[in-house]
Structure formats: structure tokens, C-alpha cells
Chain A
Amino acid sequence: EPEVTQTPSHQVTQMGQEVILRCVPISNHLYFYWYRQILGQKVEFLVSFYNNEISEKSEIFDDQFSVERPDGSNFTLKIRSTKLEDSAMYFCASSRDRGATPNTGELFFGEGSRLTVL
């Protein structure tokens, strides 16, 4: 069964360092997302991406964050200068469509990348 894969599974970094989290979405999916979950808290939307541009982003997704689809398969999240409060599990997700029609919109999530900022 096709799945979303994320690397690394865990990254430890020093405050102020740049981090890139990588995701390989399911191959025939067109919509891509990043979510984050601070330990023990809710899953928060960061950004959605379609047709090589951001569809929507949350207040969390400030200038320190960027996303890119550098080739036909990878979808990356970059944090330019990490802060302590960026420590969280970051989930990549993809979907075949946006979900505006019946029986669509299911998001498939990767297993997450745990980021620890020291």
C-alpha cells in the first residue's frame, strides 16, 4: 500500500540552526501539507501546497518557514533559524484531491519527524 514517508524520524539541533524536513508524498497525490504537534497537544495546520505554490498557511508559518517541491517526488519544510518552541513532531500529509466533493479529501499522513531544539 502506498504511503507517505518522512525523513529524518528524529532530528536534534541547536537553536538558531537551519533544519530541513523531507517528505515523499504518495505518487499520484496533488495536494501536500505540513502539520505539527507539540508534545501532548493538538495537531496544528502549518501549510498546504498545490501546483507549486502555497494554498494556505497558518499564523504559525511565519517567515522562518518555507516549503518547496524541488523535484517530482520530494516535499520539504525548511525552518531557517530554529527556536526552542519549534520542538515538535512534524507531520507531512498528502491527498489526491482537496475534499470538496463527496468521498474525497482523505489525508494520508507520514509517521512524523520529531524535531528537538536545544
Chain B
Amino acid sequence: AQKVTQAQTEISVVEKEDVTLDCVYETRDTTYYLFWYKQPPSGELVFLIRRNSFDEQNEISGRYSWNFQKSTSSFNFTITASQVVDSAVYFCALPGRGYNKLIFGAGTRLAVHP
């Protein structure tokens, strides 16, 4: 079955620290896509990234980077030099079979303190 596990419930860091959010997934599909969404305190869900299983290259976007490792079924998210504005809940997600939905992990709440 399709499943996403985010084992870290909460992480607390001090500003400027680097932080990595873990995501482990299970899928029966041979090709698939993985997503990260951010939910700031205001509550909306903000799309961050989509990666497909063809491409295991790490991706960097400013202070954000993603490490996709098919061998360990992981798609980890690193924030470099964290800032208070990064405080949010971060969700990893995987399409369900048939691509009619996204399956979200439980989320990791990140608190960045000044």
C-alpha cells in the first residue's frame, strides 16, 4: 500500500542551524512522484517541491535542499541556516494508486527560535 512516514513529530532549532526533516515512503509503483508541502501557522498548504522517481539527483532551491534516495525509500528535506519564518508543519506526500489523491505523512512541526 502507499504510505508516507514522517517519524519526527517535532523539531526545535535555533536560528541559523541546519535542520533535516525525514520522509520515508512505501509504494508499489515503479514510477512515482513525491511532494513536500509547508503549512505555516496561518494554516494554508504551500507546495514546495515535486520530484519524480526517474531523477535521484539532489535538488537545491536557495536554503532548501532535497535528498532523494530510492534505495532507502527516503526523500529528506534540509533547510540550511534556518530562519524564524521557516517555523511551520512540513508534510511529505505521495500519490495514491491511480493518481486520484495525495497521501500525506503525519507532518513534522518545525520550530525555529531566535
> Which residue numbers of A lie inside 8 Å of B, CB to CB?
33, 41-45, 48, 55-56, 58, 89, 91, 93, 98-100, 102-103, 105-112, 114
Determine the distance from Cα of A111 to Cα of B45 in the docked complex, in whole angstroms.
7
With A and B bound together, what is the CA distance between A89 and B89 in angstroms? 15
Interface residues of B (CB under 8 A from A): 33, 35, 37, 42-47, 50, 52, 54, 91, 95-96, 98-107
Verify B105–A42 contact, CB threshold 8 A: yes
A95 to chain B, nearest CB (A): 9
A109 vs B107: C-alpha distance when bound (angstroms): 16
Chain B residue numbers with a CB within 8 Å of A100 are: 99
Beta-carbon contact of A99 and B47 below 8 Å: no
Set of chain B residues within 8 Å of A109, measured between Cβ atoms: 37, 44-47
Which residues of A are found within 8 Å of B52, using beta-carbon distances?
102-103
Give the residues in chain A near B106, CB-CB below 8 Å.
Answer: 41-42
- Decide: B54 and A98 in contact? CB cutoff 8 A: no
